[in-house]
Amino acid sequence: TFKSLTQTTSDLMEKWSRYCFLTGKQVSVNTTNGLIHGECQGIDDRGAIVICDDAGELRSTLSGQVVYF
């Protein structure tokens, strides 16, 4: 509908984030820069998956093969 087209980016991201079934799950993402392993924190405003890695650092990637446990 027209109403959905007039929403702000943050409104759309908030709604989109509710559909990320990986949030809170342990994941591994094989990227071109190596493997990221940790707990998925959701999707950021760029559409990247955000992971809290085993060292406690937040990392994000826009592409890669995701495996969850």
Residues 1-29 have pLDDT tens digits of 556 656 676 777 777 777 788 999 999 99
Can you tell me the distance from the alpha carbon of 67 to that of 14, in angstroms, rounded to the nearest whole number? 24
Length of the chain: 69
pTM of the model: 0.76
CB 59 within 8 A of CB 24: no
Of the candidates 26, 33, 32, the one whose C-alpha atom is nearest the C-alpha of residue 54 is 26
